[in-house]
A = this chain, B = another copy of it.
Amino acid sequence: MIKKYYLLSPGPTPIPEEVLREAAKPIIHHRTPEFSRNFMDTVEGLKYVFQTEQDVYILASSGTGAMEAAVVNILSHGDRVLSINAGKFGARWSHICRAYGIHVKEILLRWGETCSKEKVKKELGTHPDVKAVLTTLSETSTGAVFDIEGFGEIVAKTDALLVVDGISGIGATPCPMDDWNVDVMISGSQKSFMTPPGLAYIAFSTKAWTMIQNSSLPKFYFDAVAAMKAMEKKTSPWTPATSLILQQRKALERIRKLTLEKLFEHHKILGDATRAGIQALGLELLAKPPGNILTAAKIPDGIDGVILIRLMHEKYRAYIAGAQAPHKGEFFRIAHLGYMGGFDIITALSAVEMTLSELGYDLEAGTSVSAAQNILKENWT
């Protein structure tokens, strides 16, 4: 058989063809009115998806670069932050802060857990010197979605900033930046933005800009003030990744046409279908509560999770993500963010069934697929 490749991972995600083709156009110079028009169109589209009146800055970097940009622009030597760590990317906030000598108070949770707003309120009460609460909208390592709205209610009443890693969540699950009092929001091109990796996005609230004025951490490439001054001239301070920006502009056209509301519904249906499929197989969901960005399912006893992922990839060419260290082999992750349709979920579940069965797990072929079909059929409008 021809081994066709199916990308079913939570980033990078598949790219619509008209977005791929955008990158094959001859390059235009970035200091021209033509490019500035495209650049500002992209900024407008990003503001729509972030649901903010603030400018969204476009960085040539991975999402981790935008996380570092958040930290170095708002904080100062000796500051204390509250970091909610319930997975690989929550942990990254703490790592970045420690690299800059910031004192980190962590709410450390098991992978798959989320955090109540009461817990945040209690920690802020105990540590009134906390300058920022660092958290994640959708923890890509587990699929858990956090209560950003609740955190926003709590943090807005303090002097601290709410900083949200929305890298995989924004665009697939609701998180209106302004309405929910998010002070620093970041995201990346390769998730729900339907664009290849290489761009990261960051926006700051008015409250955050006040802290930026007083921040003493060193920075240059990620300097928000330089980005803000460049934005006044409809450009970025350093050479922008022009071809990726043109791709993002094209993808944002599609996103705006679909509307955020429809996208959120779409990803919820895909999430419901995936969860129904997983549960029909008798597998346990990892995240409590699970989000609509991706679904992590625990590997059943007696199956080697690393071999499952490798076999699925090598034999069936279906690329579903495994679990990251230190939980390697413990669960798998089916993505339903970005440019994913109903039959991508069917493909993913089918590949899981075929591989599990090959590894000796007792199941009836089609069990998860039919459960997912029922959800998809009901909602296929």
A interface residues (Cβ-Cβ under 8 A, vs B): 5, 7, 9, 11-15, 20-21, 23-30, 32, 60-65, 68, 95-96, 99-101, 188, 190, 196-198, 217-223, 237-244, 313, 319
Q: Does B218 contact A100, Cβ atoms closer than 8 Å?
A: yes
Chain B, Cβ-Cβ closest to A319: B29
The docked-state distance in angstroms from the alpha carbon of A342 to that of B237 is 32
Shortest beta-carbon distance from A215 to chain B in Å: 12
Measured between C-beta atoms, what is the minimum distance from A276 to chain B in Å?
A: 26
Q: Quick one: copies of this chain in the complex? A: 2
Q: Which of B13, B32, B60 contacts A65 (CB 8 A)?
A: B60
Q: For A237, list chain B residues within 8 Å (CB).
A: 64
Verify B26–A7 contact, CB threshold 8 A. Answer: yes
* CA distance in complex: A66, B155 (Å): 36
**Are B26 and A65 in contact, CB atoms less than 8 angstroms apart?**
no
Of chain B, the residue at the smallest CB distance from A64 is B238
Whether B11 pairs with A27 at a CB distance below 8 angstroms is: no
Among the listed B217, B220, B223, B241, which residue makes an inter-chain contact with A244, where contact means beta carbons less than 8 Å apart?
B241
In contact, B7 and A198 (Cβ under 8 angstroms):
no
Contact across chains for B68 and A242 when beta carbons are under 8 A apart: no
Top 7 A-B residue pairs of the complex, sorted by shortest distance between their CB atoms? A198-B241, A23-B23, A196-B243, A24-B24, A62-B238, A64-B238, A62-B239
B residues near A30, Cβ cutoff 8 Å: 12, 197
Q: Could you tell me the distance between the alpha carbons of A241 and B241 in the complex, rounded to whole angstroms?
A: 10
Q: How far is the CA of A30 from the CA of B319 in the complex (A)?
A: 11
A220 near B62 (CB under 8 angstroms)? no
Select one of B11, B15, B23, B220 contacting A68, CB under 8 A.
B220
Partner of A196, one of B27, B190, B221: B27
Contact B24 A21 (CB under 8 A): yes
A12-B27, A20-B23 known; A63 vs B32 contact (CB < 8 Å): no
Q: How far is the CA of A313 from the CA of B32 in the complex (A)?
A: 9
24 A-B residue pairings within 8 Å (CB atoms): A7-B26, A7-B29, A12-B27, A12-B242, A13-B27, A15-B27, A23-B23, A60-B62, A61-B221, A62-B221, A62-B241, A63-B238, A64-B221, A64-B237, A95-B220, A196-B244, A197-B240, A197-B241, A197-B242, A198-B241, A198-B243, A241-B241, A241-B244, A243-B244
The CA of A239 and the CA of B313, in the complex, are separated in Å by: 19
